[in-house]
A and B are shown apart, each in its own frame.
Chain A
């Protein structure tokens, strides 16, 4: 069975500082990994995904994520956080050909001015 862990419920950073949101996964086959962001009272928005190829994936709004197979991780990063990045972030994994997308519990990011 596939699963995702987001070890931090909350991440607090100052504006302009680097932002990292951690994600580790467990699958039996090939992992297909996604990051989504949710702003208050809104649906989820896609940020980026890793399917195959380059381990460093670039996505929307200046975010990037690095796939690390040996550590089974897919951490989300942004070099310089903005106050507007404050939101709830979800990591998700799909195991091989399974249609099911498993989501982590989410990490609340707060960027202070």
Chain B
């Protein structure tokens, strides 16, 4: 049981380049989330999904897109990277169902992205 995994672990991009971050979970969780972590700001929600084929915007969605084609995977895309997107990105998942929003989230190890 690997839990939540993220690829890649590190990436350096030039301004304007694009990339996709992959998140996978093997816990059969319905809900999945993408956060970014910046010093002194905690974690901020970028996008989330409450089920396969559904996505929604979080607190800081601009410049990012997501897709959830399979229940176990949640992809985060940067179409045209900017230096302001330099951050550590975390994926998380949690159980759904009745009372699902009260369940704790399980986090991946993170992806450290630098945009030059």
Interface residues of A (CB under 8 A from B): 4, 9, 32, 34, 36, 41-46, 49, 51, 90, 94, 97-106
Contacts and interface: CB of A to CB of B under 8 A. Distances in A.
B58 interface: yes
Nearest to B35: A103
A105 B107 contact: no
A26 to B, nearest CB: 15
Contacts of A103: 42-44
Q: Which 3 A-B residue pairings sit nearest by Cβ, starting from the closest?
A: A43-B107, A103-B42, A46-B104
Nearest to A42: B109
Given A43-B4, A90-B43, A105-B40, A99 B107 contact: no
Contact of A105 (B41, B45, B106): B41
Nearest to B38: A105
Given A99-B48, A99-B50, A103-B42, A34 B104 contact: yes
A44 B33 CA distance: 13
Contacts of B27: none
Interface in B24-51: 31, 33, 40-45, 48, 50
23 contacts: A9-B40, A34-B104, A41-B109, A42-B109, A43-B107, A43-B109, A44-B43, A44-B90, A45-B107, A46-B104, A49-B102, A51-B102, A98-B101, A99-B31, A99-B48, A99-B56, A99-B101, A100-B58, A100-B59, A102-B59, A103-B43, A105-B40, A105-B42
Greatest chain A CB density within 10 A among B41, B42, B105 is at B42
